[in-house]
Amino acid sequence: MIGASLLTDQYELTMAASYHKHGMNGTATFDLFVRELPPNRNFLVAAGIEHAIDHLQSLSFEPDDIDYLSSLDLFDEDFLGFLGELRFTGEVWAMPEGEIYFGGEPLLSVTAPLIEAQVVETYLLNATTFPSSIASKSARLQIAARGRSFVDFSLRRDHGPGAGLLAARAAYIGGADATSNVLAGKRYGLPLTGTMAHSYVMSFDSEIEAFRTFARDFPTRAVLLIDTYDVEEGARRAAMVAEELRSEGVRLAGVRIDSGDLAVLTTAVRKILDESGCGDVPIFLSGDLDEYRIAELVDEGIPADAFGVGTQLGTSADAPALGGVYKLVADEHGPKMKTSTGKVSRPGRKQIFRCEENRYVEDILALAGEAPRNGRPLLHKVMENGTRTRAAESLDTMRDRCREGIARLPAHLRSLESSRAPYPVTLSTALAELTKEAATRTHG
Amino acid sequence: MIGASLLTDQYELTMAASYHKHGMNGTATFDLFVRELPPNRNFLVAAGIEHAIDHLQSLSFEPDDIDYLSSLDLFDEDFLGFLGELRFTGEVWAMPEGEIYFGGEPLLSVTAPLIEAQVVETYLLNATTFPSSIASKSARLQIAARGRSFVDFSLRRDHGPGAGLLAARAAYIGGADATSNVLAGKRYGLPLTGTMAHSYVMSFDSEIEAFRTFARDFPTRAVLLIDTYDVEEGARRAAMVAEELRSEGVRLAGVRIDSGDLAVLTTAVRKILDESGCGDVPIFLSGDLDEYRIAELVDEGIPADAFGVGTQLGTSADAPALGGVYKLVADEHGPKMKTSTGKVSRPGRKQIFRCEENRYVEDILALAGEAPRNGRPLLHKVMENGTRTRAAESLDTMRDRCREGIARLPAHLRSLESSRAPYPVTLSTALAELTKEAATRTHG
Q: What are the tens digits of pLDDT across the range B375-393?
A: 999 999 999 999 999 999 9
User: Which pLDDT tens digit goes with each residue over A384-438?
Assistant: 999 999 999 999 999 999 999 999 999 999 999 999 999 999 999 999 999 988 8
Query: What CA–CA distance (Å, rounded) separates A63 from A72?
Result: 15
Q: What is the spatial distance between Cα A371 and Cα A375, in angstroms, rounded to a whole number?
A: 9
Backbone angles phi, psi at A351, to 5 degrees: -135, 155
Q: Which of B17, B218, B229 sits opposite A14 (nearest CB)?
A: B218
> Are the beta carbons of A162 and B1 closer than 8 angstroms?
yes
Domain that holds residue A196: 143-315
Question: Based on the domain organization, do B128 and B16 belong to the same domain?
Answer: yes
Q: What is the CATH number of the domain that holds B220?
A: 3.20.20.70
Asked if residue A282 and residue A260 are part of one domain, the reply reads yes
What's the average model confidence in pLDDT over B173-191? 98
Sign of the Cα pseudo-torsion (A21, A23, A27, A30, in order) = negative
Position B139 in a domain: no
- Closest residue on chain A to B74 (Cα): A218
B421 CB burial (10 A radius; 0-12, 13-18, 19+): exposed
- A113's enclosing H/E stretch is strand A108-113
Q: Please tell me what DSSP assigns to residue A229.
A: S
| Total domains, chain B | 2
- CATH number, domain at B396? 3.20.140.10
Domain boundary residue, one of B282, B305, B328: B305
Domain presence at residue B255: yes
Summarize chain A as % helix, strand, coil (round to 5).
Answer: 45, 20, 40
Mutate which: A1, A13, A15, vs B, most B CBs within 10 A: A15
* Interface touch B229/A183, C-beta < 8 Å: no
Helix (H) / strand (E) containing A240: helix A231-246
A206 vs B contacts (CB less than 8 Å): 443-444
CA distance A242 to A255: 10
pLDDT digits (tens, 9 = 90+) for A341-366: 556 678 999 999 999 999 999 999 99
DSSP string across A250-305? ----EEEE-SS-HHHHHHHHHHHHHHTT-TT--EEE-SS--HHHHHHHHHTT----
CA distance A172 to B301: 49
Contact B323 A336 (CB under 8 A): no
CB contact under 8 A, B18 and A121: no
Q: Is the per-residue pLDDT at B441 higher than 70?
A: no
Q: Is B340 on the interface with A (CB under 8 A)?
A: yes
Residue of B nearest to A204 (CA): B24
Tell me what pLDDT residue B91 has. 98
Q: Is residue B143 part of a domain?
A: no
In total, chain B counts a number of residues equal to 444
To the nearest whole angstrom, how far is the Cα of B287 from the nearest Cα of chain A? 11
Judge if pTM exceeds 0.90: yes
Of A279, A297, A315, the residue that ends a domain is A315
Q: A202: pLDDT confidence band, cut at 50, 70 and 90?
A: confident
If residue B162 lies in a helix (H) or strand (E), which one and from where to where?
Answer: helix B161-174
ipTM: 0.96
Asked if residue B269 belongs to a domain, the reply is: yes
Residues A210 and A328 in one domain: no
Pick from B15, B21, B232, B313 the residue to mutate for testing the A interface (most A CBs within 10 Å): B15
Q: Which of residues 215-244 of A touch B (CB under 8 A)?
A: 217-218, 221, 227-230, 233-234, 237
Which chain A residues are Cβ-neighbours of B218 within 8 angstroms?
A: 14, 18, 74
**Chain A CB within 8 Å of residue B343 CB:** yes
Q: How far is B123 from chain A (nearest CA, A)?
A: 7
Cβ contacts of B2 within 8 Å, gap of 6 or more:
none
Q: Are residues A266 and A202 in the same domain?
A: yes
For residues A229-250, give the mean pLDDT: 96
C-alpha to C-alpha distance for A27 and A36, rounded to whole angstroms? 28
Q: Which of the four pLDDT bands, split at 50, 70 and 90, describes residue B328?
A: very high
For residues B30 and B108, membership in a common domain is answered with yes
How far apart CA B205 and CA A334 sit, in angstroms, is 12
Indicate if A391 and A260 belong to the same structural domain.
no
Which of A83, A121, A182 to mutate: most B Cβ within 10 Å?
Answer: A182
pLDDT of A203 above 90: no
pLDDT for B261 equals 96
Asked if B342 reaches chain A (Cβ–Cβ under 8 Å), the answer is yes
Distance between CA atoms of B297 and B426, rounded to whole angstroms? 37
Closest CA to B195 of A23, A9, A32: A9
Report the alpha-carbon distance of residue B284 to residue B287 in Å, rounded. 11
Domain closes at, from B249, B279, B305: B305
The reported pLDDT for the residue numbered A371 is: 83
Number of H helices, E strands in chain B: 16, 18
| B193/chain A closest Cα distance in angstroms | 6
- Residue B71 vs residues A221, B67, B84, B339: alpha-carbon distances, Å: 15, 6, 15, 37
List alpha helices for B22-61, DSSP H. Answer: 49-57
Are A41 and A153 contained in the same domain? Answer: no
Residues A105 and A156 in one domain: no
Minimum-distance CB partner of B164 among A126, A167, A213: A126
Beta bridge partners, A290, equal: none
pLDDT at A226 over 70: yes
CB distance B381 to B390 below 8 Å? yes
pLDDT at B341 over 60: no
For chain A, give the mean pLDDT: 95
Radius of gyration for chain A, computed over Cα atoms and rounded to the nearest angstrom: 26
Distances in whole angstroms, Cα of residue B336 to Cα of each of A42, A98, B227: 47, 46, 60
CB A153 within 8 A of CB B9: yes
End-to-end CA distance of chain A: 40
CB contact A202 to B (< 8 Å) = yes
The predicted structure's pLDDT at residue A2:
59
Cβ distance of A340 and B229 shorter than 8 Å: yes
On whether both B323 and B409 belong to a single domain, the answer is: yes
In a domain, B356, yes or no: yes
pLDDT at A444: 44
Decide if A317 and B317 are in contact by the 8 Å CB cutoff: no
Residues 6+ apart with CB under 8 A from A71: none
How many other CB atoms are found less than 10 A from the CB of residue B260? 16
Q: Are residues A168 and A289 in the same domain?
A: yes
pLDDT confidence of residue B186: 98
What is the count of residue pairs from A and B with beta carbons less than 8 Å apart?
323
Claim to verify: residue B213 and residue B289 sit in the same structural domain: yes
In a domain, B188, yes or no: no
Q: Is B185 in Cβ contact with A259 (below 8 Å)?
A: no
Tell me: do A101 and A206 sit in the same domain.
no
Mode of pairing for the β-strands spanning A306-309 and A283-285? parallel
Note whether B259 contacts A343, CB cutoff 8 Å. Answer: yes
- Which long-range contacts does A413-416 make (Cβ < 8 Å, 24+ apart)? A413/A42, A413/A43, A414/A42, A414/A143, A415/A42, A416/A40, A416/A140, A416/A143, A416/A144, A416/A291, A416/A292, A416/A295
For residue B73, is it within any domain?
yes
pLDDT at A313 over 60: yes
State the nearest Cα–Cα gap between A128 and chain B, in angstroms.
8
Q: Cβ–Cβ of A130/B159 closer than 8 Å? A: yes
Buried b (16+ CB within 10 A) or exposed e, B108-132: bbbbbbbbbbbbbbbbbbbbbbbbb
**Mean pLDDT for chain B overall:** 95
Q: What percent of chain B has pLDDT over 90?
A: 92
Q: Is residue B150 part of a domain?
A: no
pLDDT in tens, B78-120: 999 999 999 999 999 999 999 999 999 999 999 999 999 999 9
> What are the chain A neighbours of B13 within 8 Å (beta carbons)?
182, 194
Contact A310, A156 (CB under 8 A): yes
Interchain pair A155, B339: CB under 8 A: no
Q: What is the pLDDT of residue B444?
A: 44
In angstroms, how far is the first alpha carbon of chain B from the final one? Answer: 40
Residue-wise pLDDT for B406-436, tens only, equals 999 999 999 999 999 999 999 999 999 999 8
Interface residue of A73, A233, A340 to substitute, partner B, most B CBs within 10 Å: A340
Chain A contact set for B137 (CB, 8 A): none
- pLDDT-based confidence at residue B373 (cuts at 50, 70, 90): confident
